[in-house]
């Protein structure tokens, strides 16, 4: 009974947050670019000014986390340092300097009857962001949503609640300084899991889109349960295909970077496909380069026949996003074989082809249907910043609306403005 | 038990249709523009050649419908004539001549590290179209989806099954003539309602988007139950606001057209808002023009004080899409009052402002968030053909992906192609 009472309390709290967000989204959609810029600049300055408060809040979160005995990687994601706080402020400043997308005319044309039609960018409305322990997501997501004229409801992990609240207070100060509605960036103040459930229903029409930021189990839950659109990717099972026409030195450099630069990011490579035609010359040096870089190699039988002593790959390996210093490797029959393997196992995130033959590249670009395809470049470029979008709230693999890096532009919708001089339809 | 057995049979049938559609979508996504054009041209010719067969099938549907005693408007939607069949063929020819959207580079840019990034249009995949008694939707939807490189699963109303199947056979002949996969355009061959339920679940990942075409109850069911994205509008509760700065003659011409040209279409006006400042000069002539055109007027008290004898509008009228020769009328306090009324009652479909004051127009364009906004033009221009899109599968009011008329371009997604010369990420 106590549980039910608590649940009801959370439902009501979330409904209020939803209504406040929707109410804030209207003036926000009409806010000038200058005002949003001013708010972002003030948020960044406030974060720098309140650095010590943020670090003190973070120390509290870290102490609680250590008491419950979490993994070192978890602690690392949770930990803020003076430099990380300054980076956060700089990221907001970079978002402030991006062009304002709202009001952009995406396309315009004239009709024979004299009507002039414009397709113009508008905010999406209210965005719900559900994330885990990284406190910097609070700043990134809040700033990106504001830049695109959206209200945002932030629901961070309970482990980082103190840190996120300290950062959130700085964002609200920035809104106040610029005369924008305080409810433009709200943070769910409770750790109850039912708050997430409420957000996934869309809070009675108060949330237009949900962005989950975190591990696979969080994203899977959001994708399964959300009753509103979701911008997300479940995993980044990225492939690199090395064609017979590839420059071997370039292939070596790219595959080591694609796998080992950072193994825990969604754009890191998980499977290497090598053209069977060059097995005798390419396999040994590519695998040696990976092993020299500290990577474990799990290989198909035909690869193991060339480089003895490798661990055997099972079918499960082709389906696994390791997010670790491990790679699966197999031979394929040229570009057709590579496309077959990728169609079967890919998560539609990012794939790369290393080749000098333009016909191979064009076929790869035409037939592989993942959000991001690269030629002669590392899969680790799958990132909004690297795409020149000045920041991203995540990478999406759906086919609707946002696909690939989700930057400020992808956080918008559009409407048509039609200018006439008295036209009626015959 | 028999019901359960039948349900299982339908489930299995629909699963097969889904797998066939997904399999067809792959070669279709890579089909050349020429081949899709050839298929469409052949579809149109086959429809003309088989005119008599189509009309005979339609006669059968009409006979069945008359026996069950349906409304005259229903019979009209169901009826094909020689002219309507020829119009259908011509509509397919017009779609054939549209530019092919697949492979279009929507945007491209260079990065400081030399990477060249292209955002390129791709098909969505498999589209499910659920419609009612109009047999011509079979031809329109099949042709539009094919032009955009998508496979389509058509589920028409049981009343038009014979007509739709005769038309569908022509579409399949066109696919065969062009050497495209026959399963690119499939039609659900049974009338069971559980087939619709199966489509709304996405057929185990085989459907990427659902387009409902029909009345409000169909669209509401699809929007509530679909587990995949839906391109639709629930209703078109369109407003016309006549500002004090309007040209009265233009306002009269536009409001009569917006309401009365065709009253059953989603772009017809349902509510007229008149600026209180010009009540004494505008109200009487605008209402006279509507009544002269045969329109019933339901008016607010302040309007009835000016034109005696009008039916009183209740709050329900502001929320009603009449789809008939009826309009609701009220005074508002200038542009701010108009925006208030529209924000409260609009279905986010289409609204028009009649005004000469540019400040009023720009405020209307900035603050009203409907898919289509018109200045000094009739709301009946809310149509893909009128927008120059060469046909539409419907009009959408969601904020994701397709919004406004859903033409060939809106039936696509995109991917990124990144061209490098060996770049690795630092």
In order of their start, the domains of chain A are 2-231+406-418 (3.40.605.10), 238-386 (3.40.309.10)
Query: How many other C-beta atoms can be found within 10 angstroms of the C-beta atom of residue A15?
Result: 14
Q: Could you give the percent of chain A with pLDDT greater than 90?
A: 84
pLDDT band at B391 (very low <50, low <70, confident <90, very high): confident
- Calculate mean pLDDT across residues B100-117: 94
Tell if the CB–CB gap between B401 and A403 is shorter than 8 Å: no
H or E segment to which residue B146 belongs: helix B136-147
Contact B418 A122 (CB under 8 A): no
Contacts of B416 in chain A (CB under 8 A): 371-373, 387, 404
Of A125, A254, A373, the CB nearest to B422: A254
State the best of A355, A369, A371 to mutate against chain B, taking most chain B CBs within 10 Å.
A369
Tokens of B291: 């009544």
pLDDT score recorded for residue A357: 97
Q: Which residue of B has its CA nearest to A358?
A: B419
Question: In this predicted structure, what is the pLDDT of residue B2?
Answer: 61
Confidence of residue B388 (pLDDT cuts 50, 70, 90): confident
SS3 B121: strand
Contact with chain B for residue A80, Cβ under 8 A: no
Beta-carbon separation of B369 and A257 below 8 A: no
For residue A185, pLDDT over 90 is answered with yes
Contacts of A117 in chain B (CB under 8 A): 387-388
CA-based nearest residue in chain B for residue A225: B227
Q: Is B414 an interface residue toward A (CB < 8 Å)?
A: yes
Whether A279 has a pLDDT exceeding 60, the answer reads yes
- Is A375–B253 a contact, with Cβ atoms under 8 angstroms apart? no
Q: Is the pLDDT of residue A250 over 80?
A: yes
User: What average pLDDT does chain A have?
Assistant: 94
Which of B413, B424, B425 is opposite residue A403, by nearest beta carbon?
B413
Q: What is the pLDDT of residues B187-229, one digit of tens each?
A: 999 888 899 999 999 999 999 999 999 888 999 999 989 988 9
pLDDT at A251 (0 to 100)? 97
pLDDT tens digit string along A120-134?
999 999 999 999 888
Residue B403: its chain A contacts at CB < 8 A?
Answer: 413-415
Nearest to B211 by CA among B293, B130, B93, B318: B130
Pairwise CA distance, residues A405 & A396, whole Å: 6
* A209 touching chain B per CB within 8 A: yes
Q: Rounded CA gap, B182 and B92, in Å?
A: 18
Nearest CA-CA distance, residue B374 and chain A, Å: 5
DSSP readout, B318-373? Answer: HT----SSEEEEEEESHHHHHHHHHHHH--SSEEEEE-S-HHHHHHHHHH---SEE
Q: CA geometry: angle at A264 spanning A263 and A270, to 5°?
A: 55
Q: What is the pLDDT of residue B1?
A: 53
Phi, psi of B398 (to 5 degrees): -70, 170
Q: State the residue for tokens 């994330």.
A: A131
> What is residue A401's DSSP assignment?
S
Taking alpha carbons only, the member of B179, B126, B178, B130 closest to residue B148 is B126
Mutate to test the interface with A, among B269, B346, B425, B426 (most CBs of A within 10 A): B425
Section B13-26 average pLDDT: 96
Q: Where is average pLDDT lowest: A220-224, A287-291, B69-73, B142-146?
A: B69-73
Dist CA A190 CA A171 (whole Å): 18
> In the structure encoding, which two tokens stand for residue B20, read together?
């066939």
B109 vs A: CB within 8 A: yes
Check residue B3 and give its pLDDT: 83
**Share of residues in chain B with pLDDT > 70 (%):** 100
- Do the Cβ atoms of B415 and A404 come within 8 Å? yes
Confirm or reject contact between B316 and chain A (CB < 8 A).
no
Q: Is the predicted pLDDT of residue A71 greater than 90, yes or no?
A: no
Burial, B265: exposed, middle or buried (Cβ in 10 Å; 0-12, 13-18, 19+)?
middle
- Tens digits of per-residue pLDDT, A349-367? 999 999 999 999 999 999 9
pLDDT of residue B147: 97
Provide φ and ψ at A331, rounded to 5°. Answer: -85, 150
Closest CA to B190 of B59, B3, B6: B6
Does residue B105 sit at the A interface (CB-CB below 8 Å)? no
Per-residue pLDDT, averaged over A83-91, amounts to: 95
Report whether B378 contacts B352 (CB < 8 A): yes
Q: Do B372 and A416 touch (CB under 8 A)?
A: yes
Q: Which residues sit opposite A354 in a β-bridge?
A: A242
User: Under an 8 A CB cutoff, do A424 and B209 touch?
Assistant: no
For the record, the structure tokens of A256 come out as: 């080591």
Q: Do the chains contact at B381 and A115, CB–CB below 8 Å?
A: yes
For A117, name the nearest residue in chain B, comparing CA atoms only: B387
Average pLDDT over residues B308-324: 96
Chain B residues in contact with A371 by the CB 8 A cut-off are: 415-416
Structure tokens at A413: 């919708």
Distance from CA of A310 to the nearest CA of B (A): 26
For residue B123, give both structure tokens: 């098909």
B418:A125 CB<8 A: no
Whether residue A1 has pLDDT greater than 70: no
Helix or strand or coil: residue B33? helix
Verify whether the Cβ–Cβ distance A400 to B209 is below 8 Å: yes
Q: How far apart, in whole angstroms, are the C-alpha atoms of residue A413 and residue B398?
A: 9
Please indicate whether, in this complex, the C-beta atoms of A425 and B381 are within 8 angstroms of each other: yes
Closest by alpha carbon to B18, among B200, B162, B229?
Answer: B200
- Across the interface, whether the CB atoms of B377 and A209 are under 8 A apart is answered no
Yes or no, beta carbons of A377 and B109 under 8 Å apart: no
Q: Which of B128, B179, B183, B121 is nearest to B155 (CA)?
A: B128
Q: How far is A364 from chain B (nearest CA, A)?
A: 10
For A246, the token pair is 């590839």
B416: contact with A, CB 8 A cutoff: yes
Inform me whether the pLDDT recorded for A2 exceeds 70: no
Six-digit token string for A353: 């082809």
Residue A351 with chain B: CB contacts under 8 Å: none
Task: Tell me the C-alpha distance between A363 and A375, whole Å.
Answer: 11
Q: Give the nearest chain B residue to A399 (CA atoms).
A: B413
Whether the pLDDT of residue B149 is over 70: the answer is yes
Contact yes or no for B78/B62 (Cβ under 8 A): yes
Q: Nearest 10 degrees: CA dihedral of A403, A408, A413, A416?
A: -120
Searching chain A, which residue's CA lies closest to the CA of residue B207?
A399
Tally of CB atoms within 10 A around B239: 27
> Pick from A319, A131, A139: which is nearest to A218 by CA?
A131
Cα four-point dihedral sign B370, B372, B373, B376: negative
CA distance B281 to B298: 19
Question: Which residues in chain B are contacts of A254 at CB distance < 8 A?
Answer: 422, 424
Cα distance from N-terminal residue to C-terminal residue, chain B: 65
Could you please report the per-residue DSSP string of B175-226?
A: HHHTT--GGGEEE-----THHHHHHHTTTTTT-SEEEEES-HHHHHHHHHH-
In 3D, which of B385, B387, B384, B362 has the Cα closest to residue B375? B362
Q: What is the pLDDT of residues A203-217, one digit of tens each?
A: 999 999 999 998 889
Write down the ipTM of this complex: 0.89
Task: State the average pLDDT over residues B61-80.
Answer: 89
Closest CA to A279 of A234, A203, A332: A332
Q: Chain B contact for A8, CB < 8 A? A: no
CA dist., res. A53 & res. B39, Å (int): 67
Mean pLDDT across chain B: 94
- How many interface pairs between A and B have CB atoms less than 8 angstroms apart? 172
pLDDT band at A390 (very low <50, low <70, confident <90, very high): confident
Burial class (CB in 10 A: 0-12, 13-18, 19+), B71: exposed
- CB contacts of B253 in chain A (<8 Å) are 422, 424
Pairing of strands B311-312, B296-299: parallel
Q: What is the mean pLDDT of residues B239-244?
A: 98
Encoding tokens for residue B404? Answer: 């406004």
8 A C-beta contact, residue B164 and residue B210: no
Phi-psi group of B186: left, alpha or beta (phi > 0 → left; psi -120 to 50 → alpha; rest → beta): beta
CB-CB: which of A125, A370, A400 is closest to B415? A370
Beta bridge partners of B1: none
**At residue A426, does pLDDT exceed 60?**
yes
Contacts of A413 in chain B (CB under 8 A): 399-400, 403
Interface mutation vs chain A, best among B381, B383, B412, most A CBs within 10 Å:
B381
């Amino acid at each position: 009974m106590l549980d039910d009472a608590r649940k009801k309390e959370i439902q009501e709290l979330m409904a209020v947050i939803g209504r406040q967000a929707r109410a804030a989204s209207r003036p926000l959609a009409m806010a000038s670019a200058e005002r949003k810029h001013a708010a972002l600049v003030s948020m960044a300055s406030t974060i720098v000014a309140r650095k010590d408060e943020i670090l003190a809040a973070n120390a509290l979160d870290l102490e609680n986390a250590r008491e419950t005995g979490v993994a070192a990687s978890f602690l690392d994601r949770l930990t803020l340092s003076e430099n990380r706080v300054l980076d956060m402020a700089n990221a907001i400043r970079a978002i402030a300097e991006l062009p304002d997308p709202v009001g952009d005319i995406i396309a315009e044309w004239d009709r024979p009857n004299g009507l002039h039609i414009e397709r113009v960018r508008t905010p999406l409305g209210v965005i719900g962001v559900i994330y885990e322990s990284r406190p910097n997501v609070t700043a990134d997501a809040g700033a990106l949503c504001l830049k695109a004229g959206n209200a945002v409801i932030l629901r961070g992990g309970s482990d980082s609640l103190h840190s996120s609240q300290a950062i959130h207070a700085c964002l609200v100060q920035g809104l106040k300084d610029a005369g924008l509605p305080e409810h433009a960036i709200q943070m769910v103040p409770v750790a109850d899991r039912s708050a997430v459930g409420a957000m996934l229903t869309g809070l009675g029409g108060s949330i237009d889109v949900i962005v989950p930021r975190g591990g696979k189990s969080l994203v899977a839950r959001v994708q399964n349960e959300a009753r509103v659109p979701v911008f997300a990717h479940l995993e980044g099972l990225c492939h690199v295909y090395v064609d017979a026409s590839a420059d071997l030195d370039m292939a070596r450099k790219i595959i080591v970077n694609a796998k080992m630069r950072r193994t825990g990011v969604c754009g890191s490579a998980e499977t290497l496909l090598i053209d069977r035609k060059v097995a005798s010359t390419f396999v040994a040096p590519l695998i040696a380069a990976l092993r020299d870089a500290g990577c474990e190699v799990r290989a198909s039988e035909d690869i193991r026949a060339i480089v003895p002593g490798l661990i055997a790959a099972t079918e499960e390996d082709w389906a696994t996003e390791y997010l670790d210093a491990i790679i699966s490797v197999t031979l394929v029959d040229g570009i057709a074989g590579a496309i077959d393997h990728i169609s079967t196992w890919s998560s539609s995130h990012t794939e790369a082809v290393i080749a000098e033959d333009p016909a191979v590249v064009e076929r790869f670009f035409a037939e592989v249907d993942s959000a991001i395809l690269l030629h002669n470049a590392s899969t680790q470029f799958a990132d909004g910043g690297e795409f020149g979008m000045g920041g991203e709230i995540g990478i999406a693999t759906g086919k609707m609306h946002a696909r690939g890096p989700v930057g400020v532009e992808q956080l918008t919708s559009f409407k048509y403005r039609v200018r006439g001089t008295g036209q009626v339809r015959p």
